[in-house]
Amino acid sequence: MADINVEELLGQLTLEEKVSLTAGKDFWHTNPIPRLGVPSIRTSDGPNGVRGTQFFNGTPAACLPCGTALGATFDTDLIHSIGRLLGQEAKAKGAPILLGPTINIQRAPLGGRGFESFSEDPFLSGTLAGEYCKGVQEEDVMTTPKHFVCNDQEHERLAVNGIVTDRALREIYLMPFMLAIKAAKPAAMMTAYNKVNGTHAAENSTIIDILREEWGWEGLLMSDWYGTYSTSKAIKAGLDLEMPGPTKWRGAALLHAVTSNKIRPHVLDARVRAVLNAVKLASQSGIPEDAEERELNRPEDQMFIRRVAAESIVLLKNENNILPFDKNKTVAVIGPNAKVATFSGGGSASLLPYYAVTPFDGMTKQCDVRFSQGAYSHKELPLLGLALRTSEGKVGFDFRAYDKPVGDPDRKLLDRLHLTNSYMFVMDYKVPNYNSPLYYVDVEGTYTPEEDGLYDFGLTVQGTGKLFIDGELIVENVHNQKSGTAFFGSGTIEEIGSIKLVKGKPYKLTVDFGTSPTAKSSDRATVSFGSGGLRVGGCRRLDPTQAIKDAVKLASEVHQVVVFAGLNSDWESEGSDRPHMDLPPYSDELISKVLEANPKAAIVLQSGTPVTMPWADKAGALVQAWYGGNETGNAIADVLLGNVNPSGKLPLSFPVRIEDNPAFLNYRSERGRVLYGEDIYVGYRFYEKLKRPTLFPFGHGLSYTSFELSDLEVSATALAISVKLTVSNTGSRAGAEVIQVYVNARSPSINRAVKELKGFKKVCLEAGEKAEVEIEVDKKYATSFWDEGRDAWIVEKGEYQVLVGTSSQGSFLEGSFEVEETWWWNGL
């Protein structure tokens, strides 16, 4: 990849070439200018792993824990190291631009992409984002914090107008981006799909001017995929790159706008300059144009991901030291998430992992285990790919593409693939030597059930499909199609059929699929992704009453019991928000009855955002394990069996009920708009201001040891606040504690939060060890609020209280400092 002279090139480019540079070439690449030596550069998702260039049949990749899990570490050094690994993975996938981190604020529990983001708190989000970006950039890979700004729901995400006060916009939603830019100067940024106060983010000059003019950021501003909505307006506002390609809004339209003086040449040049600067910066990565995608999957990376996942786990309750378990004794493993590797949420953050470890496998490697299913947690039937076998006996199935449908005597075989993943999003699949989006796919594999029973099979499509077992039609998804949430909201709902199967008998499963042009639905999504997709699922139907009885019986027979429950990528995914905060059907009943049978049972939940826990008072041991990436099962086992002392802290508040959360009255699009009625009172700021109890507060997390804070000293200069204290490990084993520094104004001139997180530090101590800890806090960021009357940040004269603790609630060491004079500021 050549080092280019940007200003010299600007003078050599034709108008047509300049226009071409402002839009993508395809789904992942920018346009090249071969005659001038300007290469195409590659982008790739995403926040917790680098997928490469294909949703369909892509190169396997490292999958790190989800965003909220990373937020739960409260560990800047660890996040920095995560960035380094992601930078190396990006190089392996040939991508000099990484599309992450996601740093939108989790203003409500139901957001479909909430699991991607770090926190409800802007300071924690922005601080971790800065370290993430610095780590990636040390590998000479560019980062792309996203989505700028207020992209915190999936409902009507392309159209919804977020109505938000200037103060909330500044203090809550822009703050993570502001802090990331101040710390790391990321080279790229991605705009949001939604409108902000009446104008789509990609053409919103108000917020883009904050980014470019006020903050002085000079990077590449790209749209989210299909998130460009105009030609002239977006160019004038400052959107450099429309993604993906081929262009919808630029090309001939932009050429005409320039030649008719709707867009002045110097404005176009500014957009082109940003793209060329990104190409120049990409050359530092050493990644060649159209690089081959490689796998790393190094042993040291596997151990690191295992460590990250374990350090993200939050011990919510541990009465009478139920945990850790004794690994020399039998453990009853129960529940819907036990034998499923729930490694990530769905959508852009998802990828094909190198491997994924289930909690059952993680526990089985370290102790004697007895198992009972208890319930299912899937929203759609579990993917069948790994349960199928090809005609040659390989794990997976055959995928054959044809030019004509089944039954046509003239059909020609275009391609044949061996696949293991039966979620087949073919939007970026290129059929060899074939250019039409219309083609037909035969899926074929052998399914051998492990038990007698009635089996359900499901078919979700963007297109049309039929599923057969031994030639018998079981599922038809052709006529009367209804839109669902799959394939970023462009697919149908899952159609299900049933058949009785016999244990050990092989059955031939076939699916006839027609790509998206064959779709019959009258309720089509506004955005159609390429040639569509096909999802094939299935499992034995479970009698929930009997399954729970079996689980309860096992729980009563074994002293050590753990129930694995929670959500998965069906429930938390890009394209749709969660309909409620509850666990999947039968999970609460299963947990409650197991706890009645064995009150010492430990409950482990996997989700990216809060769930309701009507049985929480009965649970003596409760663990929040998030989506833990490749090593999720091993990491959970490490914590449950005491190999790792948990140190995670909740990066978001867990409400008792959905009705208790601050955005309850103002979530989802209503006639095209959503009112941010909670204003600055997001997350713990809301609960504390209203004195409303939470199930578990922001910053909460226990340990297998105990800590004591003492000897607080607070001092301040014109620029910084120094917080010094002694931290002692008063327990019997090594562990880590997160020291959290909160600040509040004693006598503010307007309503402010009771307190706000302004500093934190993770401290690791051996049993009986103590350490002197100092946390330095930026004074102007710690004291300011946005003064809407002055369009500036204000630092008010007066006394400020400093509260130092290990959670947003509980006991604190208290100190204070003074601000002598009121003053205002802008910028970073």
Query: Please, which pLDDT band fits residue 815 given cuts at 50, 70 and 90?
Result: very high
Architecture of domain 380-540: Sandwich (2.60)
Question: Is the model's pLDDT at 1 over the cut of 80?
Answer: no
Share of the chain above pLDDT 90, in %: 95
Query: Please, which pLDDT band fits residue 4 given cuts at 50, 70 and 90?
Result: confident
Q: What's the pLDDT tens digit per position in 180-221? A: 999 999 999 999 999 999 999 999 999 999 999 999 999 999
Q: Is 570 a catalytic residue?
A: no
Catalytic residue from among 45, 75, 121, 224: 224
What sections of 63-144 are H helices per DSSP?
A: 67-73, 76-92, 122-137
Q: What's the pLDDT tens digit per position in 339-397? A: 999 999 998 899 999 999 999 999 999 999 999 999 999 999 999 999 999 999 999 99
Tokens of 649: 């802290």
220 close to 277: Cβ distance less than 8 angstroms:
yes
Q: How far apart are CA 254 and CA 235, in angstroms?
A: 9
Q: Give the pLDDT mean for 631-654.
A: 98
Question: Is the model's pLDDT at 621 over the cut of 70?
Answer: yes
Backbone angles phi, psi at 564, to 5 degrees: -100, 115
- pTM (two decimals): 0.96
For domain 707-825, give its CATH number from 3.40.50.460, 3.30.2350.10, 2.60.40.10, 3.40.630.30. Answer: 2.60.40.10
pLDDT of residue 501: 98
Q: What's the pLDDT tens digit per position in 227-267? A: 999 999 999 999 999 999 999 999 999 999 999 999 999 99
Q: Give the pLDDT mean for 131-146.
A: 98
Average pLDDT for the chain = 96
pLDDT of residue 85: 98
Where do the domains of the chain lie?
334-378+544-674, 380-540, 707-825
Query: Please, which pLDDT band fits residue 3 given cuts at 50, 70 and 90?
Result: confident
pLDDT of residue 521: 64
In our burial notation (b when 16+ CB lie closer than 10 A, e otherwise), range 1-25 reads: beebebeebeeebeeebbbbbbbbb
**Cα-to-chain-centroid distance, residue 738:** 23
Q: Give the pLDDT mean for 559-585.
A: 95
Question: Is the model's pLDDT at 594 over the cut of 90?
Answer: yes
pLDDT of residue 525: 46
Question: Is the model's pLDDT at 526 over the cut of 50?
Answer: no
Q: Give the pLDDT mean for 83-99.
A: 98
Angle at the Cα of 149 from the Cα atoms of 144 and 152, rounded to 5 degrees: 105
Q: Give the pLDDT mean for 545-558.
A: 98
* Burial category of 718 from C-beta neighbours within 10 Å (exposed 0-12, middle 13-18, buried 19 and up): exposed
Q: What's the pLDDT tens digit per position in 233-244? A: 999 999 999 999
| Pairing mode, strands 735-745 and 756-765 | antiparallel
Share of the chain above pLDDT 70, in %: 99
pLDDT of residue 522: 53
Architecture of domain 334-378+544-674: 3-Layer(aba) Sandwich (3.40)
